[in-house]
Structure 1
């Protein structure tokens, strides 16, 4: 059978730390975390820092994870650049000249891909590996835009994760939910329970709420539209950096960049240990190269922070997360239901941060294990549609959108949007969403390019506005189709043709795919151009 002899590698690409795990179809219940990170020493760690450092101003030689020397300037938090055009975010993470966030991500992915493959060959041996197919499941934040997910996929492909491998994307909270629900104590979760899963990581916080329809096999359906934001634990680090600069003044600018990075790294240890206990009023962060700067609160090489100052670093981020959770719970209660439990996963929640990577492995194995397939009914997080022109109706359409079709001569309303998927609408991996297209032309000069747009508002506008965001261009190439297959029509004794075709869209947890159908025949996966 095709499903036998396969290894699935889960890859949790985190903002601050990343993790790898694997299991085989021969022993699906045994999920193995990949450790033995370069330069990690004898310490056994389930994740490696999502950090990379380039040498001598170049863009080819680099070190990563634990292998970066302390004296070298490192890039971190670059994951956030895949889905952010915010100038403040970009200025805080300067990239090497000529490199994009995709380039840096590709290099980091390449290092982890090679580490994963070498680990598999060493642990399983060449005889076993020569008979095994290796698939990769890469997790992405559910809160991310479709463009950011495609950037991540592109970086993974460039790193080699699709070379003789199947590569799929899975949302982080869904992976965490699958693992967490399946591994809860017996009777902790029951059929018809409603569960809010909060995946709080380093850079993003994602929330998904499920109604449990079946335990074995697991079947869940989203009972509220998922939400999320960029408000993970790295934002506490940023608050600390702001406080540090404020307190040190000119002393901060005199520090080497490597020293600044080391101070933030030292703060991370204090941050993780902070419990806001009344019996501890002072916290100490080691400040290398400095001894005493009284006006900055630095004594004997340590920056002193009061308990109240620590709380002020945490509170804005915690408050934002609590608003997200409260909003998710309220949206469920509005429908007359109640929430049975809230599951907190992810490193920020101080939970064992392996739920995402292990859930990715479990999900990737399921197609080979039919009796264990998890069914997830999701709700669309945004509206999807296509810009179009339609026959102009006075009083319904604005005069500013009026135009004339050059082929048919009809008065049309341009700049309209046909929404084919509504926010909150249920979707599954096997649901095909069909969008019909009709084009009039005198001479085929294709390929034809259609746009797909999205809107996050609860009620989308009927025409293109600033709230309607471009997602991608879809190229339909029908050059191989004979003219005789198209409809023939006449206007003022001149012949023109009408092409009617449709695009099938499938939206999975972390990805979307398109297929072009003309007169019942498939033209396969078509060209989709995201704004990368």
Structure 2
């Protein structure tokens, strides 16, 4: 028998889980509807070393042991070869910079997957399954089994803002592999994605709430320096109480996280090992140990350290300079504060950085704050009112030919409509730099003709394209990339559709439907509408496999 609402703490209970799936470390935070002012960060990891168990984050690492036993996080035995950096494998090789694509660590990760016949989505799913099961166990110990069983789950997973949108589709597939979206008594699990810099900003803002030195119209830059990426985002303070912000200028990001410092350090060690060196002290047997005159050493000079950090630090500082300049050009003044420890910016900008675990857990905590605010549950009054589009979005279609509007090279005859068309035209329903309100819905119409002698019209498809060009093109060109295909497995009696008759008297059934893009947390999502009704998610698939 199900417990009453009193047993579970009230009516529509929800448990909000924020997951920061990182390149090197991952973290999880959660809260629940009747105690939403209390946020918990998951710890108590399974570990080979007791000292690691209560860390706020866990290594993003997997390893196969004897009999194909799978180990993860801190619990990987020291003698096993580990799979790391596999988050970066969700991105197609062609979309990775040469420095990343050719990285020894990335190559090792690809070889590991090949050796064990796994895809990036599968290994991400395996890792998420472990971190999810551990997290739910800890949530249960905190809030009770009854509350977990009869509460809806709202999961927010953060992604780098610079990642292509197909990575979001792959992450959604991975969560399905992980069992995170399995059917539950309490109802369907809600899954959403949020950009990592926005999550970091929300956590930072929560720490700054009620400060008297923050005023409306202040601007500030948040710099999220992670394991794989560095992301920057700038905000204007719309109001202080309640705290409302809007994105000031288009954010920036690059693959220049801490893993590339590790890679540079490894390269320097390899250089030094090309020269004569003593065997490490621990490798000497007792006889050699007695005869050894000194402990073996590797000397790292200040130049070595500089070479290790400079490439990554210079990239980050360059992005900070560009972001500050963009804010200055738009606002006529410098931003008031900056998020990381950067010392060269000047006297007019204050640099702030929290201590202890706050910066390390900012992204998973910010994800929880976002979801709680979205549901109207958060005791905090922090809200991002609008964002700035980082890329342009469009559908590609054949338009009716107009001499004054179209290029003659695009002119093409359509046998079905018996008209001249302009092929491969772009209609940008969201352009780079446009303001986006959370939940903003943008629709475009689609039409398909079907011969009257067929009975099956499945599937219906609409291809979505993106462009990073400052001014998106009027027709398909090299700056345009296919983003995804919206596939609609329609359940429609074709004979109920309106008809179209061309000038030769040939009759077709005409299917009219709309594709809707919703911007949630800075990430695009899509839906299909027919006759004004939203089509069920089980009949709509967003396929990020591009041609």
TM range (shorter): 0.7 to 0.9
Aligned to 2:466: 454
Root-mean-square deviation (CA, aligned residues, Å) is 2.9
Aligned to 1:378: 387
Indicate the larger mover: 72-81 or 238-247: 238-247
- Say if 1:370 and 1:314 are closer, same or farther in 2 by CA, change over 3 A: closer
- Say if 1:509 and 1:289 are closer, same or farther in 2 by CA, change over 3 A: farther
Match for residue 147 of structure 1 among 131, 146, 166: 166
Contact 2:18 2:365 in 1 (8 A): yes
Aligned mates of 1:6, 1:477 — CA distance in 2: 31
Q: Which secondary structure state, in structure 2, belongs to the residue aligned with residue 323 of structure 1?
A: helix
Give, in angstroms, the shift of residue 481 of structure 1: 4.3
Aligned to 2:269: 244
Q: Deviations over 1:424-479 (max 9, x none)?
A: 11112321101112233334643222211100111112222222111111123445
Q: 1:9-408 counterparts in 2 under 5 A?
A: 9-39=17-47, 40-43=49-52, 44-56=54-66, 61-85=69-93, 86=96, 87-89=101-103, 90-94=106-110, 95-97=112-114, 98-163=117-182, 164=184, 165-184=189-208, 186-249=211-274, 289=283, 300-338=295-333, 339-344=335-340, 352-366=359-373, 367-369=375-377, 372=381, 374-394=383-403, 397-408=406-417
Q: Deviations over 1:351-408 (max 9, x none)?
A: 7311111111222222042774624311111000111112334575445433221202
Q: Which runs of 5+ in 1 are unaligned?
A: 256-285, 292-298
Give, in angstroms, the shift of residue 53 of structure 1: 0.7
The TM-score normalised by the length of structure 1 is 0.85
Aligned mates of 1:245, 1:348 — CA distance in 2: 34
Contact 1:232 1:348 in 2 (8 A): no
Aligned mates of 1:92, 1:491 — CA distance in 2: 62
Aligned mates of 2:140, 2:74 — CA distance in 1: 22
1:523 is the counterpart of 2:535: yes
Aligned mates of 1:250, 1:441 — CA distance in 2: 73
Aligned mates of 1:112, 1:150 — CA distance in 2: 20
Aligned mates of 2:148, 2:536 — CA distance in 1: 32
Give, in angstroms, the shift of residue 158 of structure 1: 1.6
Q: Deviations over 1:471-508 (max 9, x none)?
A: 11112344514434324323212223433321111021
Q: Which runs of 5+ in 2 are unaligned?
A: 286-293, 342-352
Aligned mates of 1:93, 1:251 — CA distance in 2: 30
Contact 2:43 2:57 in 1 (8 A): yes
Give, in angstroms, the shift of residue 127 of structure 1: 4.2
Indicate the larger mover: 86-95 or 341-350: 341-350
1:427 is the counterpart of 2:430: no
- Say if 1:451 and 1:250 are closer, same or farther in 2 by CA, change over 3 A: farther
Aligned to 2:448: 439
Give, in angstroms, the shift of residue 521 of structure 1: 2.8
The TM-score normalised by the length of structure 2 is 0.83
Give, in angstroms, the shift of residue 205 of structure 1: 0.8
Q: Which secondary structure state, in structure 2, belongs to the residue aligned with residue 37 of structure 1?
A: coil
- Say if 1:349 and 1:30 are closer, same or farther in 2 by CA, change over 3 A: closer
- Say if 1:347 and 1:150 are closer, same or farther in 2 by CA, change over 3 A: farther
Q: Which secondary structure state, in structure 2, belongs to the residue aligned with residue 81 of structure 1?
A: helix
Indicate the larger mover: 188-197 or 200-209: 188-197
Contact 1:407 1:442 in 2 (8 A): no
Contact 1:204 1:231 in 2 (8 A): yes
Aligned mates of 2:400, 2:213 — CA distance in 1: 57
Q: Deviations over 1:76-132 (max 9, x none)?
A: 111111124144254242333321111111111011011001112223333443443
Number of corresponding residues:
491
Contact 1:201 1:348 in 2 (8 A): no
